[in-house]
Structure 1
């Protein structure tokens, strides 16, 4: 039996996406490649819901996040960022290490700071260069539900708005242009349901102009070079991961065939089913109700549930992979990825395996929990 990969990334990849990588290798300085790249460019724009430029980096999501910093932040620049988890902490530290000044708006893990705190910070600092936000904090299953208001605020104040959407784009609402997002970064292996290794970045016209006029002292992550090659030849400045490009194109095809609204609705229904089923087992979400993610379900362990033993049973006995917590949350929570091609089968197999593993370690799970989840899943076609 194959593993059911219910991690917060990488996630399950549909067979037609995996099979796309069997296409022959081509010259990345050829007309064949330009056709491929242009098609991916245009389809990525549709998924991002933007008319802005798209750059495809051959990196993990972290490479795309770092790109957003090195191309915008200069020494002494102020950047506001809400910090409420591992990845937002890393991003704030990255801004500081690059010479910027990260103004951290802190909130307890599992919560978001009140929107009003951002207005206060902008009133206190008149020279803020950028507002960064980790839209979905993968470490805690927490989603910012006022991204649109942050975009309006940044626009009013003349600051760049940067969205780290690595674990959420393709699984929840994210209209880049409508939310005034200047730079949006994501990664192929999360809600887009493609193999790891491609990280798309969208860039607004305003941000692009700034980056072209103020290129960073770096080579591989220098977006000015990518813009130049795209405008002159519709190529990449460096050798791309060609098999991954084929897979990514097929993943985009599947997303557009389903339709973004349908895809987002499916993710929400599956998340509701997870939360309902887990709650019926006596398990509680880590994130507060107004901040709970539809793509990463973080769950508190009950007393008597050992992380290593529990997740080991899930993987070894039931071939279901879920993630543990890390940092301060190590051993305290486990995390389920509800993303990509997630559907009834994924939810029900995961929940039934969790219930069985709990019973095996002596923590009784309500046998009715799966029927509670199944009732929520009736809303799916």
Structure 2
């Protein structure tokens, strides 16, 4: 029997649907195979990069140590209104927690509570040592140890430290605190972190501008050079990567000190008085010089890679149309090289934000950046909350910078090759 036209259409539709399903299955298989190929790398990045950073950032709002070490006190304080005089139930709950807590737990709690009330650390440690052998009633015994236990302010400090999460560290990183009227600024003598953040951004912007001013002409020279001259210039740019950061920073200490190479050379040329050398070290000048030298290759290489792709015919066409060299550079060459400038500027600025070794070695006390204080809180005073809060603010600042860059320029233009 002859196949009708409608049967042929139905058959073609069935074949098309089967082919579509087959292509969809093949596409899923290819995606699954690609996922299997990158899965080890993704697991590695998550385990050694994303997860540790995420755990650190959670410490900026984590406040469970006090409530876990003082569970009975936390339960009684949750029902206390914060204004009445503390009763025997509060003292009994705290005494019970102090008796059953180890010395290490009490020391950690005391250190945490000291962020909410200055001087409570020594008072709590003394109270814990004394109250272990005491019997009820506890209220008069607490008052004998420290009269401040009878005041509601002391117990309000404990109550503020009891919630599992807190914004104390994030606010403190911006020199803010919660007061009677809400969020307010801390006293001027305790305001430190906001100035440090402003200083960090000021130094990073200054270093980025210096790297652009020095790196752009050098990249243009490299792009125009040929043969052994181009190879030599590229080698000189890459040479600092063969030396450790610590060695390069220490070399600037030798060069910039009062009787160092720079001052000795200027004195030999008669440009300065040998008895009055220039102050080039342990100040902002030394920080800018050392950081610019270290970060300059990160600016030169992106600009150079973009300039190498600019066809010379565009410049010759502009010249043939009567454009002077300055106009050719401003209207043709500079716009075409801007993707490299923006990529290098973004890279240098982000790297400069987190610099620690260079400002610590060549800068003075008023030139330390936020990374120094993160290391200080993490390594010296073991205040992980403040270290995490400063890290979180720095990360948020980078994300905001990325968003602004993507909105104004577009991240798709960040190409360096």
Same fold (TM over 0.5): no
Structure showing greater radius of gyration is 2
User: What TM-score results when the alignment is normalised by the length of structure 1?
Assistant: 0.22
TM-score by length of 2: 0.20
* Greater helix fraction, Structure 1 or Structure 2: 2
> 1 or 2 for the larger relative contact order (CA 8 Å, sep ≥6)?
1
